[in-house]
A = this chain, B = another copy of it.
Amino acid sequence: MPRAGITADRLVTAAVELADEAGFENVTLSALARRFGVKDASLYSHVKNLQDLRTRMALRAGGELIDRIAAAVAGRAGKDALAAFAGAYRAYALEHPGRYAATQIRIDQSLLADSPALRRTAEITYGMLRAYGLDEPDLTDAVRLLRATFHGYCVLEAGGGFGAPRDVQQSWNRAVDALHTALTHWPREENDHPHE
């Protein structure tokens, strides 16, 4: 009997496709084996276990995401760069919900440490913020704010959390405007303990 010709890469490719179609939590080794016309036990030659597969999916998707962001941000600065970053981020999350969900999972730090995607993400994010003239620790605070807002927005939108009839794209534009405002008027060291 001929072989299916499975490799870890092809497996991950099929996995992220399945994630976008059926949802990340429905990506199962059994389902993938079925898709390849193979018994599920056979996949353990290519992948250690389910967690291993998910980690690979996360790294794949994370790389794709930062590639698209990098392409969008290239050659822009200031608010223009912020809007491009935000747009690329949200577009990826909406086009590839399963892949995006994969990027959210908790990953062993040791595996993540030498991931080029993580380093590129940091470079691009901090580079984008350069225009706002922030120094540490404000820079880290700003990065966290942006990540949280982008991520939270996409999660809520994808999960159907925005029930109001207001168009989400317009809301999103406003949110990006608001973040730009916040970065421009970044609260500098004033009163951490308001005099109450």
Contact = CB atoms under 8 A, between A and B. Distances in A.
Interface of A: 79-80, 104, 106, 109, 136-138, 140-142, 144-145, 147-153, 155-156, 159-164, 166, 168, 170-171, 173-175, 177-183, 185-187, 190, 192, 194, 196
Contacts of A144: 153, 156, 162, 168, 171, 175
25 contacts: A80-B194, A104-B155, A104-B159, A106-B160, A109-B163, A140-B164, A140-B166, A140-B171, A141-B166, A141-B170, A141-B174, A144-B171, A145-B153, A145-B171, A147-B161, A148-B152, A148-B153, A148-B155, A148-B175, A151-B155, A173-B192, A178-B183, A178-B187, A181-B181, A181-B182
Given A140-B164, A148-B175, A152-B152, 19 more contacts: A80-B194, A104-B155, A137-B166, A137-B171, A141-B170, A141-B171, A142-B178, A144-B153, A144-B171, A145-B178, A147-B161, A148-B155, A173-B192, A174-B187, A178-B182, A178-B183, A178-B187, A180-B187, A181-B186
Contacts of A185: 181, 185
A40 B127 CA distance: 54
A180 B148 CA distance: 16
